[in-house]
Amino acid sequence: MFPLQRGRRLRTNESIRSLVRETTLSPSDFMFPMFIAEGENYKSEIPSMPGIFRRSLDLTVEEVKEIFALGIRAVNIYVKVDESLKDNTGKEAWNPNGLMQQAIRAIKAACPEMIVMPDVALDPYSIYGHDGIIENGDIANDATNEALVKMAVSHAQAGADFVAPSDMMDGRVLRLRQGLDAAGFHQVGIMSYSAKYASAFYGPFRDALDSAPREADVVVPKDKKTYQMDYANRIEAIKEALMDVEEGADMVMVKPGIAYLDIVREVKNAVPVPVTVFHVSGEYAMIKAAAQRGWLDHDKIMMEQLMCIKRAGASLISTYFAKEAAILMSK
């Protein structure tokens, strides 16, 4: 008790604070989400995500080499699919010569040590903007799982290190593990989006991929709340994460990040596998907008939020700030 104990002794200067710091952050804690588009020498900034671009394959490869040199060791990749390739089956998702498959091969050829985790969900390929196949006005869970297995196996064939199912279909981790193993890809891991909430923080991401639910001539769900989680729920997140681990997930994810740090800690305490946290597009965009107006110190807020995510229990942080943070840390 005071005066024998004085907490300020351990805060006297930065040298002492660094000695007793409980949480540390490094570029190897980050995964960089990347958006890939058709074309050559193509780079287009996403208006709602300043500093984040859709890139053609050639420029994507150059960016991957650059961030690897900064110490970032994982990328989570997404593709912008041409409208003519979209339908209600998602069949373009497992085209061996599709944009995603080309991207995986190109990244692994150029930077073999970069861990590539392609997104596994049908929304970029869906004419309805949903993560699954529409049947009778709803998402057909089991039919969607069959499509996701084909998609994941095609990613493994292209050279993916992990597949990252973000769809939130019931039982998809088990089906993916069985499908990958049956195809001989026992070494390919699964990073499951286990606690993915139906959040309004995803808006800029959907702008990037044009993957928001759409109006349609047939009856379709107007949002993703029948498969993504209710943000009022906590215990459900633990249950979903534990189920995914039982089904074969090597890592689990909580999404979004900063607004869900209580869930991160709950999941971290419950599961015996690494926990990934997605610091999502809306969280990124809010910092960018406030900093542009001079309301917040961009770099200080960026680093504080990343440290808080790590402190909450993240083993890996998927963040659009990965490159900026790594550059700042290198200085």
CATH number of the CATH domain containing 292: 3.20.20.70
pLDDT at 206: 75
Task: Name the pLDDT band for 261 (thresholds 50, 70, 90).
Answer: very high
Task: Name the pLDDT band for 116 (thresholds 50, 70, 90).
Answer: very high
Residue 134 falls inside a structural domain: yes
Q: Report CA-CA distances (Å) from 11 to 8, 18, 312, 329.
A: 5, 9, 21, 22
Query: Rounded mean pLDDT of the chain?
Result: 95
Residue 10 falls inside a structural domain: no
Instruction: Note if 196 is an active site residue.
Output: yes
Residue 16 falls inside a structural domain: no
Asked if 99 and 81 count as a contact pair (C-beta separation under 8 A), the reply is: yes
pLDDT digits (tens, 9 = 90+) for 38-75: 999 999 999 999 999 999 999 999 999 999 999 999 99
pLDDT at 281: 95
pLDDT at 219 over 90: no
Residue 186 falls inside a structural domain: yes
pLDDT at 215: 65
Q: Does a cis peptide bond (omega within 30 degrees of 0) precede residue 165?
A: no
Residue 228 falls inside a structural domain: yes
pLDDT at 217 over 70: no
Q: Which domain holds residue 276?
A: 23-330
Among the listed residues 255, 268, 288, 323, the single catalytic one is 255
Domain count, the chain: 1
Instruction: Note if 255 is an active site residue.
Output: yes
pLDDT at 212: 65
Residue 141 falls inside a structural domain: yes
Mean pLDDT for 260-268 is: 98
Residue 17 falls inside a structural domain: no
Mean pLDDT for 248-257 is: 98
Q: Which residues is 165 bridged to in the sheet? A: 120
Task: Pick out the residues of the known binding site for Mg(2+).
Answer: 240
Task: Name the pLDDT band for 208 (thresholds 50, 70, 90).
Answer: confident
Among the listed residues 196, 268, 288, 310, the single catalytic one is 196
Model's pTM, two decimal places? 0.95
Q: Which two tokens stand for residue 47?
A: 């208006």
Residue 224 falls inside a structural domain: yes
